[in-house]
Amino acid sequence: MNRKEGEALFDIIRLAKEGKVQLVHSAMIAVENAANEIAARKSFVDSVMHLADTYQNLSDSIVHRAQMIVQDDQLQPLDAVHLASAEAAQVDFFITCDYTVLKHYRGTLHIVTPLQFLQHYENYH
């Protein structure tokens, strides 16, 4: 993540705190964050996820869809579970700084960088 993306991410978090955008937490985020060995980062993710309005549990259908994403889009399994969870939650945007995901995912989600999301938000709000 570069500096501009980091700043944009903090702007998105501010919008969530103000109730102007909604975040979705997921079981996959919880699992990954529980394994995070960097205490400050773990605490930060926890604080941001407490802002989420929705929680997406893991299900057999999400696991199956993730397997399809791995096969069809050549993405890593953890990334595929995040994407399948977001599809199941029917999010409007999947915000990421992972350019491999941005380049290779061919599913139904609207995947954007933090900067792209803010540009869209500013254009329509």
Q: What is the CATH number of the domain that holds 47?
A: 3.40.50.1010
- Number of domains observed in the structure of the chain: 1
The confidence score (pLDDT) of residue 1 equals: 77
Is there a domain that residue 124 lies in? no
β-strand partners of 111: 94
Per-residue pLDDT of the chain (125 residues; tens, 9 = 90+): 788 988 999 999 999 999 999 999 999 999 999 999 999 999 999 999 999 999 999 999 999 999 999 999 999 999 999 999 999 999 999 999 999 999 999 999 999 999 999 999 999 98
- C-alpha 71: how far from its chain's center? 20
Query: Strand 111-112 to strand 94-95: parallel, antiparallel, or no bridges (unpaired)?
Result: parallel
- Assess if residue 112 is contained within a domain: yes
Considering the domain boundaries, does residue 125 fall inside one?
A: no
What pLDDT was estimated at residue 113?
96
User: Is residue 57 included in any domain, yes or no?
Assistant: yes
Residue 83 lies in a domain: yes
CA distances from 68 to 13, 20, 62 (A): 31, 33, 10
In-domain check, residue 87: yes
Residue-number span of the structural domain to which 114 is assigned: 3-119
- Give the model's pLDDT for residue 2: 83
